[in-house]
Structure 1
Amino acid sequence: MSTAVVFRGSVRGLATVRRLPLTLALVVILWVLGAVSGSLINGPGQDLLDQVGIGLAVEPGPWWSIFTSAFFASSLVDYLACTAAILVGVGIAERVMGPWIALAAFIAGSALSALVLVALVTFGTDASDQWLSFLGGEYVVGAYGGAAAALGCSTAALEALWRRRLRTWLLAATLMFALFVGVAQTLQALAGAVIGILAGWAVQSLVLRRRAGSLHSSSLRETRFLVGTVVGVFAVGPLLTQLTGTWEVGPLSVVSEVMLQASPDADEVQEACNNDTNCVTLQGIVGVQSFGAAILTLIPVLLLLVCAEGLRRGRRLAYRLTLVIQLYLAAVTVLSILQYVYDPDVTLGDDDFAYLLLYAVPAVLAPLIIVALLLVNRHKFRVESSDAGYRVLGRTSLILAVAAVIFYVAFWFIEGNPGRSTLLDLAGQLTHILVPFPVPFVVALPQGLLSTVLYGLGGDIIWLCILVLVLNNFRRFRMLASDPAADLGHTRELLHDGGGTLSWMALWDNNQYWFTPDRKAGIAYQVHNGVALTVAGPFGAEEHHADAAAGFLKHCSNLGLIPCFYSATAELDAPLLPRGFRKLEVAEETLLNVQAMTFKGKEWQNVRTALNRADKLSIKDHWYNYPEMPPGIRAQLAEISEEWVADKALPEMGFTLGGLNELKDPEVLCCVAVDDAGLVHGVTSWLPVFSQGTISGWTLDFMRRRTTGFKGVMEFLIASAVTHFKDEVPHISLSGSPLANAGAGAGEGDRSTLDRVLALLGNALEPMYGFKSLAAFKSRFQPEHRTLYMYYQDPLALPSIGIAVGSAYLPGLSPTQSAGLLRQMVAKEPAA
């Protein structure tokens, strides 16, 4: 390791210490006390525990234990978990509120949550509650209550989006641990979270005099997020109970038994195999004790997490799948309870009824509550995939299931299983393959290599493929436009009423359209990676732009899309920034005041040289609409364009960069540099900009030159445009250079994730498309600059937005080209 690397690491470490002194100090105190007291491995000894632990016995511990318990843990794993809780909870609180308030929240939260825990256990013991009374008679240590309280309190200082989101996550996580694990520390953490959130709400409302924020403005998105979180908690909770081993005692801890496949132990496998050594070995390698069986245990968790993500996006498919799964789990749980209750070998006593009341009833109620929650909010999950997406999912799932049944039945008979098992066993084994959840009856294990392999791995293959297909289905949308041609025609009409310098690009391919209810304004956008990426800002009469921007947000929310306004001007500050949007500079548009340009002075030397050279070579500028262009010139334009594209390692770009097809619009003007021999040296295209029905400007789009053409042809063409438009409009735009200045204007420590992604993409494309050199070329015309921004609302969506921008500009990348672009993005030096 070099000295420079060590030095940079030391600098980063010191910076972290300066930013989080309290958090690191608490971690150090925790570990130092643990080491000094010899409690790092197995926790404090009994004598020390009597003094520092929270007493849940009949005789409570000393009063100071509600403070000291936060600085000890019960085992090495518990020390690691407490460290993580402090780093997350106190770390965020310290960054948001400062060290002193964070320390006060941690200490007060530890003490108050300890008192709540003692009160709960005392009440449960007096009421003979099996869960809470089970927790009595022991001492509790851990920093969870204080860390959760500090984190909950810190949410008061956050903006509305993050405040609601962090509170939801905190309550969901602590509630999940309390219900599924249920040990005393989890109850204290839940109490700390509630105390911290209430304290934060009080500070926010009474001290800061800031409204808590209404859910009505974003009720659709927040409801979807909440329902998805509930389903996600119910998915992860059963897995948590399996990972925590035999010491989970929460009311929902038994849910894992009806939701997750349980691998039989060695004795059960021996019995199922009739003590056949070959069968036992085979089951350990590819059967019910193999790695495939462990993966099958995770399938229900992954399936519900995928459903939770779909619910967050408002997907109807996720809604239907979740309903079916929850109803199935409730039915299986009821069936299991009935089997236990009516078993003639079981005599139910008072303790058994108490057990059923505590564990079995919540296991039934939990999925039914989720079903009720879904049904009440069913109208909020209406986002449908495309018909093709549903066909692919249904067809592939059916093919996989039918193939598995056919092959398994064939192998089952070929390998002699009928002599050892019944057809009922065969049916049960097929459900093990086709249904990822445990079946409520016991079946015999298959014997034979092929049937065992398919029994152990078939369900994994089928359901992993289905999960991928479902996730891919969430990326598709049913065609929104009932009449795309009519929408395109109405867009052209609105563009004549008004729009920005880039608005004419709304007429290009791959765009979808949204219009205000009165259809007086609209927005063009593309959907990539779940992001609705607009083509510049709203179009139509200027007085309707703000309403269009606000209405488009609701449209995206209904579809579960992430709204992102790309290459928009500061006009959108007023409607978007109060709604929590941020903006990032993505381009500098260059504007020319054509009526004031004379090409006189030293700074115009390059332009005058180009004009003089064109005059000597008898090159003239000819102006056409493409449909009126002579066939010979059109053929040469196609030749020049193909030559330009063939020189690039990547395909022609799109989105805000037009190609030859975009020239064919009858309202687009083309300026062609042609010599006396009829040879085309270069071409530019100009998009109209309208205001109240009249042309108020033109925007440069298409630029191509013949490689053997005269040097300076582009300067000549733009100078010709200045002369041509001087008497018609006050300004023309040379457009922006996309990704040319991505990452500029911000210090290294202040650059956002998306800023870095766009900078990487811009640097990777620079050798092939020359955006930065194009921006430098445009600066020769002494332009006025106007910043174009990207407006986004959710910082967590930045990676998705970065991928969406790349997909919009390069929609037709092959796998090989994608791999080459990725290598170029991560290369230290750009390719030549």
Structure 2
Amino acid sequence: MPKGGSGTAAPGRTHKIATVLRHRLPFTTLVTLTMLALALATGALWSAAEDRAVYPYIAYGLPSLESGRWWTVLTGPLFAVVPLYYLPMVLSFALFAGFAEWRLGTRRAMAVTIGGQFVSVLVAVQFLALSRNSGWEWAERVAGSLDVGFSGGALAAVAVASATLRPPWRLRLRAGLCVYAGIAIIFVGTLADLVHFFALVLALPFGRKFLGSKESGRERRPSLREWRFYVVAGLLVLTVAELVMSFVPGNGPFGSSEELSLSTWEVVVLCLIVVPIMNGLRKGSQVAWWCAMILTSFVILQVMVYGGVLTLAEIFGDESELMDPPLFFVDNLLWTVEFALLVSSRGAFRVPSRRKRRRLGRMGNPALARTLLSRHGGSTLSWMTTWPQNSYFVAADGKSYLAYRRHAGVAIALGDPIAPDGAADRTIAEFITMCENTGLVPCLFSATGDTTAKTEELGWKQVQVAEDTLIELETLEFRGKRWQDVRTALNRAKKDGIEFRLVRLADQPRAVISQVRAISEEWISDKGMPEMGFTLGGVDEAMDPETRVGLAVDADGVVHGVTSWMPVYTGAGAIGGWTLDVMRKRADGFRPSMEFLIASSCLAFRDEGAKFVSLSGAPLASSGEPAHAVERVLDALGTMMEPFYGFRSLHAFKAKFQPRHVPLYLAFRDEADLPRIGIALGRAYLPNTGLLRLAKLARSGKKPQPQRDQRNVEGGGVMVLRSASGTPR
């Protein structure tokens, strides 16, 4: 590089930043520079403005407006109370207002920021004017105070601009703003906190109407990970609040927190209890959820009992020890909100203990399942039986097993039995006996024809529920017109510098794993229905060391797409093929990354000696016409679910790889079991979605949409939907 190379790069970057500030963020830049210029010109940058004689003439508040100094609403936002506050004030305004201007445009950002500041100050002042003579000590004290700063307008701006974000970031940002404003007004309670509170209260509902967009107001249900995040965050906020009340007591609108402060040993005990509970909640532990329920119930009950004792003390004339009732109410309310959140999110904490997973059937665990699967081999879906959410029925000889889920009194066995040759029928018979002895309805889901032939001998029925799609690698050649899309994807990837990597995700750098998780979170949040489970894996399953992961990575290290492949054991420890599970892509990334990843994975597996790959089965979709009455019902169900999950669009997508179709079946005793089996399967795939919500969506009249091609983008990327293989729509 020439000597002056580094010297010319810096001015170039500076020029780009200046161009962005001038053309994209003119309002934010102008206000920020004005704040700094006035701070320098008036000396407020090194001498506290509140100590100046002119302060009442520039600061807003009830005294200023009652004295006719209306201009303070315009001058106050440009100053800070003390020099130390300039750094957080200027940075927060630049961040919040700049974000709003970037997302909303200059004119709308100006309207929201200036209007939000003006309205929130006036509402706060009017609130104090109405309540200061009511005997409320806090209102009387704050009504006589003055304040400066543009934080109310900045918070209003970011609150409105949050409507432009995609979930889950929209809900996360709003939750963070509300937590900050709520904790500040309760435990601090200054005029600034009151302005912030009203700014958010007025701005958050205003976002959708201001933007005039239906999409901006459409909130999705949080994913399981989001529910866990909110519960842990709520418990963390409550713990921090207890610490603040104990070590930094304040005097907010509901009274002094000194009376609720904990002793040092109580704080230590609280931390020792809460930290492991939060760690368990983060992992979705059912035991941790119960512990959190007990903790919140204990705190609520303790506050209620203590409040009752103090009330009795007041009745009998001993008021010296009486604590402010509003403070009792607020403290109890916060813990009650956490309790309600725990109850509402109980479906996100279904990870049972090992003891509970082994309650039914003989002893079994994922490690034993992997050993037996490697020894005997299985179907293309058999690796799913090793996932930790399953329960296991192990045959009497300990050499075979069936993995199953228990819902609505039904034991749903997944796929074929993992058993030595000639032992599958005995394993099925023992499984049926176990179910009958425990009052469970047995069924086999996604079983192959060989297994259902054995159940037919027992008088069972069967119905096709999916179609596996197999690609024979030994004869695979991307030649002819039918492979045009695949060849185009491979050629374009080479031209654009997109590299294929076949890795184990758990061994990848943290930066790569974080990108994969971000892509997955974006996909989960962009759906109109909750994330499905059971035979549908995710990033956690892809982290398994025995699972291979295909990545589409550009020259800058950006991950554009990801696929995960489960091993298909054929016996004696040999892997004969691989099954597609997760398939997700970056919304604004390399468009044909799905075709590129599948094709590249097929070639890589063929070079390693694999015989086939399975693109897995698309539920409620097949290449033939329904013949059985139950199949016709399932076909109608597939039509209803198509707009939400796109199983049939997925099935059509797989067709471009010219696969061989293998039917997968549901085997059951007789038609009388079908209603319960249907409910059980619904709970297995959608454990957090009730029948009422499904019925409501079905009545919504949403029609199936035509399949989007790679050019039809939404929000900068292709709409991605997943089936049993996570394949895109």
TM-score normalised by the chain length of structure 1: 0.44
RCO comparison, higher one (Cα < 8 Å, 6+): 2
TM-score normalised by the chain length of structure 2: 0.50
Higher helix share: 1
